Chains A and B, each alone.
Chain A
Amino acid sequence: MNACDQLIDYFNQHLTEDERIRFEAHLATCQTCQEELEQLEALVGGVAFLSEPAEPPSGMKARILDNVFAEDKTETESKPDEPTPITPFTSTKKKQKTPWGALALAAALMLSLIGNGYLLLNQEEPSGIALTETVPLEGESEGVAYLAEQDGQRQLIVQTNGLDALEANEVYQVWLLKDGSPIPTGAFVTDDKGNGTVIYTLDSTESETDWDTVAVTKEPERGNTAPEGDIVLSASL
């Protein structure tokens, strides 16, 4: 099945986690799908009015607003609903148990990025989250790197599919490079199809650096600060 043929199932949320991530990588580069998704979404606001009238349950407003504002109180200082970087790449040497949590979180972010489909079509006015750059990765398999920006913070998102299976403590490590000098920007492990996702939030110094390359290497263990393994995917920024 052609990737574009999954648009309806994507829109109606019938894709598996794997399929969805792959479709979103496709969507990022397919103008036709972007336009069709936008059209599907644009009409939701119209067809909604075809709904049969239904009387809201009594007291629903108070229940909902109470819960909404109560939710807010428990949020304390943390910024609401902002995607947090998923990977504890710096110090933990333990093998990450499963990539599914990471995938789900990536999914949440990707939803807010492109699930609504508008963003990719409207990159010229970033406000809130915006993709600033989408770069296909080249090398041993397929992948896409996205640079995104949210409230002044830059994020690097890398999605891959079809990477070789990892052994024992191995991880795939993402790097940003400037003039050949790399910094680690997140590690990930892949599922059985070689799919992996990583989201990395750049700190203020990193955000100001004019990175020229993004690369993925296979490292013997998590937490390397300089690459030991070979580059499996890369792209110029």
Chain B
Amino acid sequence: MTDIELYERVRNKDKQALETLYDRYERILYAFVMQLTKDRDLAEEAMQEVFIKLWRGGGVYDESKGKFKSWLFTMSRHVTIDLIRKRKPDLQLDESYAEAIPSPAPSVETEVEWQEERTQIETAMAELPVEQQQVVRLMYFQGLSQQKIADACGIPLGTVKGRIRLALKQLRRHLSNDLNDKEVER
């Protein structure tokens, strides 16, 4: 069953469908919210918020909105950042983390289910110049303000958006071929 079919069932209060969706996304979503929160309790709380939202119908997805997965992750990211701001309003950029520009993590992943997607994005990221990789990570995972991104990268504020735009364009180009095809089959 596709994600969208499951989502439709969840909309009709099918508990089994929500569980299936949960099983399908648990690991990657949890990894993602952990990446954002760096805190297991907060990550679990965020996961719960996400699934409550799905179950109660907060935020409505339909196919005209693009891929379900992007919608789900965007919604989850939003929920998680909200939680971080509430619980840890003073959470600051970890400077060392920012400077270390983690290159794509070596794939020691034991999961196979998401391996393909992971490989694709890692490959696409690796094609980017280092400064673009940095800006993508600072923005998506650290959720920094534009000013802090500028500070972390040592570039003028006005340059941040352009660099992000460029990075996204490159990423999209590298991803577009295989990832899009993949989505249709899922």
Minimal Cβ-Cβ distance residue in B for A115 = B78
A63 engages B44 (CB within 8 Å): yes
B111 engages A53 (CB within 8 Å): yes
Minimal Cβ-Cβ distance residue in A for B48 = A64
Min CB gap B42→A, angstroms: 12
A11 CA / B144 CA spacing, docked (Å): 10
B74 engages A116 (CB within 8 Å): yes
B104 engages A50 (CB within 8 Å): yes
A44 engages B140 (CB within 8 Å): yes
Residues of B close to A47: CB separation below 8 A: 121, 136, 140-141, 171
A209 CA / B141 CA spacing, docked (Å): 47
B32 engages A39 (CB within 8 Å): no
A165 adjacent to chain B (CB < 8 Å): no
Instruction: State whether A118 and B71 are in contact (beta carbons under 8 Å apart), knowing that A81-B56, A111-B78 are contacts in the complex.
Output: yes
Residues of A close to B104: CB separation below 8 A: 50
Count of B residues near A, CB < 8 Å?
A: 81
**Residue from B43, B51, B64, B118 in contact with A49 in the complex, judged by beta carbons closer than 8 Å:** B118
A124 CA / B65 CA spacing, docked (Å): 11
Residues of A close to B71: CB separation below 8 A: 41, 45, 116, 118
Residues of A close to B141: CB separation below 8 A: 47, 50-51
Main secondary structure of the interface of B (DSSP, over half): helix
Min CB gap B66→A, angstroms: 6
**Residue from B18, B43, B179 in contact with A65 in the complex, judged by beta carbons closer than 8 Å:** B18
Min CB gap A104→B, angstroms: 12
Residues of B close to A112: CB separation below 8 A: 58-60
Residues of A close to B15: CB separation below 8 A: 65, 69
Instruction: State whether A67 and B125 are in contact (beta carbons under 8 Å apart), knowing that A44-B74, A80-B58 are contacts in the complex.
Output: no
A42 engages B143 (CB within 8 Å): no
A44 engages B73 (CB within 8 Å): yes
A122 adjacent to chain B (CB < 8 Å): yes
Encoded as 1 (CB less than 8 Å from any B CB) or 0, chain A from 14 to 55 comes to 100000000000000000000010111111111111111110
- Closest 7 pairs between A and B when the two form their complex, measured CB to CB: A128-B60, A45-B70, A118-B65, A80-B56, A81-B58, A122-B64, A51-B35
